Amino acid sequence: MSLVGSGVIGPGRAEYFDVVLQGGHTYSVFVRPFEPGVDFDLRIYDENGNLVTQDVDLHADAHCRVNPRWTGPFRLVVNAARGMSAYRIEVQE
């Protein structure tokens, strides 16, 4: 799994992507905006709606590592805290 999706979002907006991750594997999830002056955040939720991990720092891009305990659906939520940009979201094992 690499490119999960792409889109364009602006301040206060969010988009989500549902993926199935395998238990016992470690994944890196990257949000790569095309514009450098934005602040995009990333949150990852499990199938029960529990926040697993997040990157809400002030950098343009966002990155999280996740090692699921079980195989199942996870929701990746991209939020634009500042600015507007097109972006890509990628998952790498």
Q: Where are the domains of the chain?
A: 3-9+16-75+87-92
> Using alpha carbons only, how large is the chain's radius of gyration in Å?
12
3-9+16-75+87-92 adopts what CATH topology?
Jelly Rolls (2.60.120)
- The one-digit pLDDT tens for each residue of the chain (93 residues) are 698 999 999 998 999 999 999 999 999 999 999 999 999 999 999 999 999 999 999 999 999 999 999 999 999 999 999 999 999 999 999
- Distance from the first to the final alpha carbon of the chain: 8
CA–CA separation, 22 vs 41, rounded Å? 23
pLDDT the model gives residue 49: 97
